[in-house]
Amino acid sequence: MRGSALDRAVTLATEWSTRGQLRVERHGRVVLETAWGCRPDALFWLFSASKPFIAVLVHRYVERGELRLDAPVSDYWPEFGNHGKQHITVLQVLQHRTGMPTAGSALGDALAMSNWRRSVQRIERSAPKLDPDLGPAYQFLIYGFVLGELLQRVSGRPVEELLREQLLEPLGLRDTFVGLPDAAWPRHIPVRVDGPGGGIAQSVLNRRITRAAVIPAAGISTTAADLGLFYRALLDDGSGRGPGLVRPDTLAAALEPSNERQMDVFARAPIRWSAGFQLGGMRWGSRVGPMGRLSSPLTFGHNGSNCCLAWADPQRDLVVTYLTDRVPRPSAGIRHLSQVSDAILSAVTA
C-alpha cells in the first residue's frame, strides 16, 4: 500500500473531527491504526453502523431454521400484524422494503428510542404509509426494534444477551456494548451535531440514559478495532475460513443486492441495499456512496449518520473502520466519507 495515500486519509480524517479513530486492515494485517483527540479504547456511538450486528444475528437464526426469511413477521409476533402489516416478511424488514420507515414519525421514534416497550407498542399500532414497490424506505430506528423483538419472541431472551453471547463474546469484542454499562461510561465519546438544532440533538444523544439503552439499529458503542474484528470475521466466513458466525452461503444471501439505481424514498438518496448491509459500487451521475467512487460492488458495510463508517471488500481483502464524534449535514458528510474511503482505496490499488 502507498503510504502517501494513507497519509491523505489520515489528514482528511483529523481535519474533519475533534476526536476519532481510523483503522485499515488488509490480508489480515493492520496497516493503519490511529486515534486523535482520544485514546484507542475510547467508545464511539455507531448510530446506524450498528445495524449489521442485529442483521447478522437474524441470519444466524434463519440458518438454524428458527426463522424464515419469506415468513411474515406476524407469524412469530402476532401483534406486529395489526393495521395492515400482516404480510410484511422478515426479508422485507432486512431490506428496508416494508413501506414503513417510521412508526408514525421520525421524531416520535427518536423520543421513544430509550424505552423498548414504548418503541415496540408504537410499531404495533403503526401502519405502512408507502408502497414497497416504489423502492426501499430506510427504517432508521424501528429496524432494530422490529428485528430485536422478533428475535426475543423466537428465543424468549433479551436481544442484548443474544448479541453478546452469539456475536460479541465469540469474537472477543470486549469493547463493544449494546447499551453502555456504567463501568464503561468514562470512556464514551460525546457527539457534536452540526447545523440548526444541533445543540438539542446533542443534549439527547449524549445523555447517559440514551447511551445505556438497548437500541439495536443505532445504539452500539465500540472502538474501531473491535468493529474491524467483526468485519474481518465476516470476510473470513465468506471465504469459508472464518469463525463461523454464519456459513458462506448465508452471508452470500445476506449480501445479495435488493435494489439497483433506485432512490431510497425515506433517506432521499440512492443506496444499494442488501438484506442487512449497504453495498459499495454506488455511482449515480455525480452522486457516490460513502464507501467511495473506487469501491467494488461487492463491498459491504454501513454508514452511521455520516459520523461513523465501516466496510469490508472481499475482492481486496480489506477492512476499514472510521469513527468520529461529528454528525455533519448529510451531503457534506457523505462527500467526506467518500473521500476518506477513496484515499484508502487509492493506496491499495496503486
Torsional sign, CA 27, 30, 32, 33: positive
User: Angle at Cα 216 formed by Cα 95 and Cα 117, nearest 5°?
Assistant: 105
- Set of cell numbers at residue 13: 480524517
**What average pLDDT does range 338-346 have in this prediction?**
96
Q: Give the confidence band of 2 by pLDDT, cuts at 50, 70, 90.
A: low
Range name among 61-70, 138-147, 256-265 with the lowest pLDDT average: 256-265
Per DSSP, the three-state class of 189 is coil
Burial class of residue 37, CB neighbours in 10 A (0-12, 13-18, 19+) = middle
Prediction pTM value: 0.96
- Residues 79 and 149 sit within 8 Å (Cβ to Cβ): no
Average pLDDT over residues 81-106: 96
Neighbouring CB atoms inside 10 A of 240's CB total: 10
What's the DSSP call for residue 300?
Answer: E
Q: Which residues pair with 278 in a beta bridge?
A: 273, 301
User: Beta partners for 308?
Assistant: 304, 323
Residue 24 DSSP SS3: strand
User: Three-class SS string for 98-109?
Assistant: CCCCCCCCHHHH
Q: Please give the residue that has the higher pLDDT: either 270 or 250.
A: 250
Question: Which residues lie across from 175 on neighbouring strands?
Answer: none
Cell of 175: 469493547
Kindly state the helix (H) or strand (E) to which residue 145 belongs, with its residue range: helix 142-155
42-53: b (≥16 Cβ within 10 Å) or e:
bbbbbbbbbbbb
Task: Read off the C-alpha cell for 316.
Answer: 481486496
Inform me whether the pLDDT recorded for 39 exceeds 90. Answer: yes
